[in-house]
Amino acid sequence: MLRESIHHKVPEPTLRRLPWYLAYAKLAQQQGEKYLSSTQIAHNIAVDASMVAKDLSYVNISGRTRVGYHINDLIGVLDDFLGFTGTHRAFLFGVGNLGGALLHDRGLEQFGLNIVAGFDAKYELAGTSINRIPIHHISRFEDLQQKMRVNIGILTVPVDKAQDVSNIMIAGGIKAIWNFTPFRIRVPENIVVQNTSIYAHLAVMFNRLNELK
Amino acid sequence: MLRESIHHKVPEPTLRRLPWYLAYAKLAQQQGEKYLSSTQIAHNIAVDASMVAKDLSYVNISGRTRVGYHINDLIGVLDDFLGFTGTHRAFLFGVGNLGGALLHDRGLEQFGLNIVAGFDAKYELAGTSINRIPIHHISRFEDLQQKMRVNIGILTVPVDKAQDVSNIMIAGGIKAIWNFTPFRIRVPENIVVQNTSIYAHLAVMFNRLNELK
């Protein structure tokens, strides 16, 4: 697990929990709250108050004694810190089941991810579009990338193509790969990989359900 | 974090890694391999060999010294163990961006999850369908559930509806909730919750990309 030895400023578990706090803060804001303390957040989402305080210490925000954080500030700072207010352009590789589904998900754009094109090896997909996002043959990637300089590649190809397509992405200058396949791709040290295998989560759920019986 | 104190037979990290081994085994099988050792798996997906061996010790399979596991057996046993060969019926709640996208993903069925209906509060969606999966108004859930006795509920509603809709699911007899919202729902102890917040993964990727600069 070489990659895990890299020192990161903000630990991954913190980065995964901050969106929970953000989601709760937005809900509380809708309900008319003006201030929010880490204790309130902790209580409402059933995590430890000291963990919430520690996680929020990575974010540049200061609360007021007793009342906590001003809720609008907290939301603004978290949205910003997590990158949800930016516009990060991405290419998607593999317009199959999951790839097509992700192209349908307009929610990604609300979180700062703008998929600008999809690529696939199937010639019949080239020239089509999903959700107004154009789909090109994979052979056009290098060309388009030279013009567009996209940093993020979403990997939704079949397992047996995962490594090859990752190599093509990296050769073209992609800096971060969001890997939705259950295949562990190997990449140079300076390439960011985020693994999101939703089918692995499914396995956990099936197992826990079985335990109930 | 009360829920984490429950004792599980198979640890969650193991359940999340087993699909990696399965994916690699299927790839090796395609390439004509007959046997596969934990060392080979470890080497090819860049994890520790002792971890692979330990993870596989939870699965009922025995390898042969030197050659390892018979690859067909390994695939069959893993597929089965992870629940991917079964048919688990699920209802989906919230046919918005992500919910609609998941209905489009036929891949879930290949992993044993069969979404049999979607529910939404929008009346104009009732009577429509996505990918041949019928969509009903949420008010019809209780009725349909009495006939269908579905165990799994997929939660893709807006954050401010997450808790209410979870309560409705549980009251109707749903045993496991696959929560795609960034909201931490609170559930009774005997209810399985699997959190899959893909937007939280996005935050991790954005942060790591920023560190490169």
A and B: number of Cβ contacts within 8 A = 217
Q: What pLDDT score does A2 carry? A: 40
Window 106-125 of B, Cβ < 8 Å to A:
106-108, 111-113
Q: Say yes or no: B47 contacts chain A, CB-CB below 8 A.
A: yes
Q: What pLDDT score does B106 carry? A: 84
Helix/strand/coil for A123:
helix
What average pLDDT does this structure show over B97-116? 91
Q: Say yes or no: B212 contacts chain A, CB-CB below 8 A.
A: yes
Name which of A34, A108, A185 is nearest B203 in CA terms: A108
* Phi, then psi, of B60 in degrees rounded to 5: -80, 80
Q: What pLDDT score does B2 carry? A: 40
Closest-CA residue of A relative to B112 is A202
Instruction: Answer whether CATH 1.10.10.10 is correct for domain A12-81.
Output: yes
Q: Say yes or no: A85 contacts chain B, CB-CB below 8 A.
A: no
**pLDDT surpassing 90 at residue A117:** yes
Question: Do the chains contact at A9 and B211, CB–CB below 8 Å?
Answer: yes
pLDDT tens string B119-147 = 999 999 999 999 999 999 999 999 999 99
Considering CB atoms only, which of B23, B96, B212 is closest to A182? Answer: B23
Runs of H (alpha helix) within chain B: 12-30, 38-45, 49-56, 71-81, 97-104, 107-110, 141-148, 162-171, 198-212
pLDDT tens string A67-77 = 889 999 999 99
Report whether A150 contacts A170 (CB < 8 A). no
**CATH of region B88-201:** 3.40.50.720
Q: Say yes or no: A6 contacts chain B, CB-CB below 8 A.
A: no
**pLDDT surpassing 70 at residue A3:** no
Give contacts of B207 with chain A, Cβ < 8 Å: 8, 10, 15, 82-83
What average pLDDT does this structure show over B29-43? 93
* Phi, then psi, of A122 in degrees rounded to 5: -80, 120
pLDDT tens string B47-64 = 899 999 999 999 988 877
* ipTM of the modeled complex: 0.91
Q: What pLDDT score does A50 carry? A: 92
pLDDT tens string A99-112 = 998 998 888 998 99
Considering CB atoms only, which of B102, B200, B205 is closest to A101? Answer: B102
Considering CB atoms only, which of B18, B84, B209 is closest to A192? Answer: B209
pTM of the predicted protein model: 0.89
Q: What pLDDT score does B3 carry? A: 47
CA distance A193 to chain B (A): 7
Report domain extents, chain B. Answer: 12-81, 88-201
Burial class (CB in 10 A: 0-12, 13-18, 19+), B132: exposed
Share of residues in chain A with pLDDT > 90 (%): 82
Q: Say yes or no: B7 contacts chain A, CB-CB below 8 A.
A: no
Taking each helix axis from N to C terminus, what angle separates A38-45 and A49-56, rounded to the nearest 10 degrees? 120
Which residues have C-beta within 8 Å of that of residue B51, sequence separation ≥ 6? B17, B42
Window 157-196 of A, Cβ < 8 Å to B:
159-160, 175-176, 178, 181-184, 186, 190, 192, 194, 196
Report whether B166 contacts B187 (CB < 8 A). yes
Type of residue at B140: R
Mean pLDDT of chain B: 92
CA distance B41 to chain A (A): 11
- In this chain, the answer to whether the domains covering B12-81 and B88-201 adopt an identical fold is no
